[in-house]
Chains A and B, each alone.
Chain A
Amino acid sequence: MQSSQALLDVEGLRVAFTSRGNRVVAVRGVSLSVNAGEAVAIVGESGSGKSTFARTLVGLLPAHSSKIEAGTIRFAGQTYRPEQFKTLRGGKIAMIFQDPLSYLNPIMQIGKQIAESVIRHDPAANPRDRVPQLLEQVRLPTAVAQSYPHELSGGMRQRVLIAIALGCKPRLLVADEPTTALDVTTQEEILDLINAIRRELDMALLLITHDLSVVAAVTERVNVMLRGEIIERGSTQDTLRTPQHLYTRGLIRAARGEKDERGRFITVDQTLIPVN
């Protein structure tokens, strides 16, 4: 790992869930780093543990049913133990999600919701200046400040969520399936926006997705996750061009809609593929 210059350096993260007495390990000793200003993807399917990993970084796991069993985070040179992870949220690592509507207050105007995040992370800031600035940064008309969430389209809501995240001035943005619920053309706009903002603010990005076309559009490095472990990692271009792991190869062929010699669509049985 390039720990010397890494902004985020996660070491041996292990997360388990307990439900009705059953213990399920969702993240099995995952190490991963993101350099300052870099865009890194975690790609995997449902159940791979990718979202759990992302939520762990910002202390957003359900308190009663989950446990961070091992792991440390180094962020900008400082070391955090599991019980301190939540202090990273906001000012250091901000997060956006697949369904922005569930993260917005339905009865509060957009401008107030953005102002909340601005003030929480910098009590001295003047939201009258910052809110229009942030809206401009996400390419929304400043009049949106007076709107309510239900009045906006899905793409606009995601822009609002990005504005709220930027309000905390994070050095790393964690985006969990940020475009999955959007139309293809809106997806493109949001990805372009994330790319542009990243460069403007020199902000790093950790993108969590199942969609290889999104990985290709935005990131420089990719980590492939299967059943709680990273089974392949490398530069996005090399990994997509010459995948090494059986699972990655299957994932790429399936995503392209490729068929086998019998004219059947390629399927990958996740449960049958060995991790190593």
Chain B
Amino acid sequence: MSGKNRTPPSPILELRNVSKIYNRGGIPNRAVDGVSLKISAGETVALVGESGSGKTSVSRIALGLVRPDEGEVLLHGQSLLTMDKQTLRRKRLAMQPVFQDSGAAFNPRRTIQQILDQALDANPIQVADRYKRKVELLDSVRLSPGDDYLRRFPHELSGGQRQRLAIARAVAAGPELIVADEPLSGADVTIRGQVLNLLIDLQLSNQLGYLFVTHDIAIARAFAHRVVVMYKGRIVEEGPAEEVVGNPRHDYTKRLVASAFRFVDAA
């Protein structure tokens, strides 16, 4: 199992009553409206919602890439918002992103070796044997034998392999938390299983926390410990994954569940 029943320790990251307001044609629009969220080591939180729900804005706030207009973002209890730029840049390495479109996430002119080197440069803990570490990283995401892949370019990989490289790069930077924004949405169902199993393994061996942004509530139930449902900038429902999906209360959650499990009912 993915360690579903452990009690979470103190959070790695905490968002407290966070809001982000964008001006759309002069009219203020609360894209994120009073969102509070905690993610602990070894815990997976799925953030579910459709485009425009504010889930991607929340993930960018969690990464320290977007500054909220209201509220507080705490990394191990320390505010990200009051840090000077340099400290923030260093601290936010603890949160690493994995994006939806892994094709666009890499510099196409860099080899896999160079891509991993850059991430290892960023890691606060430097390893003695770099080459060995890179091969290990690639092996750990099943791009093996790792040394065969080092000289290749991202475009030589399939979509599923590229997504696994994105995960290897994130891990190389030595994060405590991985923020994955729709990492499976382009992927075939058969690749989905591989990527999810890989994430579970990495979580168990490194006690990683995951903020997993998705519109797929079926995957959220199967993969996450807790599910948070966002609708129009607000959290409308949250709780243990089985509970939220098994017994949805909010109308929007009900709709998501109904359409996701349509073919299960048909069978």
Contact = CB atoms under 8 A, between A and B. Distances in A.
A and B are interacting partners: yes
Given A185-B50, A266-B193, A267-B193, A216 B2 contact: no
A216 B263 contact: yes
Interface residues of A, number: 35
Nearest to B51: A183
A210 B189 contact: yes
A184 interface: yes
B218 interface: yes
Contact of A184 (B190, B194, B219, B256): B256
Contact of B189 (A241, A255, A269): A255
Chief secondary structure at chain A's binding surface: helix
Interface in B233-267: 255-256, 259-264, 266-267
A11 B41 CA distance: 57
B221 A215 contact: no
A260 to B, nearest CB: 10
B190 A268 contact: yes
A111 B219 CA distance: 40
Contact of B188 (A188, A210, A252, A266): A210
A252 B1 CA distance: 21
A259 interface: yes
Interface string A241-274: 1000000001110111111000111111110000
Given A213-B259, A268-B190, A268-B193, A256 B264 contact: yes
Given A216-B266, A241-B267, A254-B192, A184 B259 contact: yes
A189 to B, nearest CB: 11
Nearest to B255: A185
Interface string B34-70: 0000000000000000110000000000000000000
B196 interface: yes
A212 B259 CA distance: 11
A257 B1 contact: no
Contacts of A186: 50
A269 B192 contact: no
Contacts of B210: none
A251 B152 CA distance: 31
A265 B259 contact: no
A215 B189 CA distance: 15
A157 to B, nearest CB: 14
Nearest to A251: B189
B10 interface: no
A232 interface: no
Interface string A96-116: 000000000000000000000
Contacts, number: 90
Contact of A254 (B1, B190, B200, B264): B190
A187 B215 CA distance: 12
A267 B195 CA distance: 10
Nearest to A273: B190
B223 interface: yes
B193 A256 contact: no
A186 B256 CA distance: 11
A217 interface: yes
Candidate in B1, B189, B218, B262 with the most chain A CB atoms within 10 angstroms: B189
A57 B223 CA distance: 40
Given A45-B188, A183-B50, A257-B218, A215 B263 contact: yes
Contacts of A216: 262-263, 266-267
Contacts of B193: 254, 264-268
A267 B2 contact: no
A54 B226 CA distance: 41
B81 interface: no
Contacts of A265: 192-193, 196-197, 200, 222-223
A2 interface: no
A79 interface: no
A257 B222 contact: yes
A188 B255 CA distance: 10
B262 A213 contact: yes
A240 B255 contact: no
22 contacts: A46-B188, A183-B215, A184-B215, A186-B50, A187-B259, A188-B259, A210-B189, A213-B261, A213-B262, A213-B263, A216-B263, A217-B259, A241-B266, A250-B190, A251-B190, A255-B218, A259-B222, A263-B200, A265-B192, A265-B197, A265-B222, A269-B190
Interface of A: 45-46, 183-188, 210, 212-213, 215-217, 236-237, 240-241, 250-252, 254-259, 263-270
A-B residue pairs, 8 tightest by C-beta:
A257-B222, A216-B263, A267-B193, A183-B50, A265-B193, A45-B188, A216-B266, A268-B190
Interface of B: 1-2, 50-51, 159, 188-190, 192-194, 196-197, 200, 215, 218-219, 221-223, 255-256, 259-264, 266-267
Given A213-B262, A270-B190, 5 more contacts: A188-B259, A213-B261, A241-B267, A264-B197, A267-B193
